[in-house]
Amino acid sequence: MATGSVIRLTSPCTLRHRGLAVRMVAEACRLARGDGSSPDDQSLTYDLRDPFDAELVSAFAEIYNNIVLHAYRRRDGETIEIAIHVSPGAMTVEIRDNGSTFDLSSVPEPDLDSLPEGGMGLHIARAMLDEVVYEPGPPNLWRLTKRHQAATTAS
């Protein structure tokens, strides 16, 4: 994918549309890494064998869940805007929503020793990315950045 290009998606923000957004991010990861292989268009499975793809998709999916479940509280009729930017050595996913805001710094780290059944989403996102920025809105903005080796080498 050419450096500086942007992929955008504006979509209803529901769990039904989640797969659409996750697939777009997964495919953009593959392109950003310069993976020239042809995707298997007949396959309905995710190809997340590359750690870069796996980690960015994991983080994005958790943030998407948070927006649907917490910012919008599963309300119908709401929208999410996603913009994927590829720059030399990094990929950034910007996500905008008009739901309720929260204080990112107030979210505690989960106590993993207690085997929690919730509160792991932001921990996953933070751990899988190089940078997580949240700016309360409206619109609220999430900026998820992950550096990748392929573009660093090529630049």
The nearer residue to another protein, 19 or 34, going by C-beta atoms, is 19
Smallest separation, CB 39 to another protein (Å): 14
Q: Which residues contact 43 (CB under 8 A, 6 or more apart)?
A: none
Per the CB < 8 A criterion, the answer to whether 61 and 37 are in contact is no
**Closer to another protein by Cβ: residue 4 or 108:** 108
Nearer to another protein, 14 or 87 (CB): 14
Closest Cα partner for 57 from 94, 85, 29, 36?
29
> Nearer Cβ to another protein, position 6 or 15?
15
CA–CA gap between residue 91 and residue 138 (Å, rounded): 24
- Cβ at position 4, least distance to another protein in Å: 28
Q: Which residues would be at the binding site for another protein (CB under 8 A)? A: 15-16, 18-19, 22, 44-49, 51, 54-55, 57-58, 61-62, 65, 69, 112-113, 115-118, 120-121, 123-124, 127-128
CB of 83 to another protein, least distance (A): 22
CB of 65 to another protein, least distance (A): 5
Could you tell me how far CA 83 lies from the centroid of its own chain?
A: 10
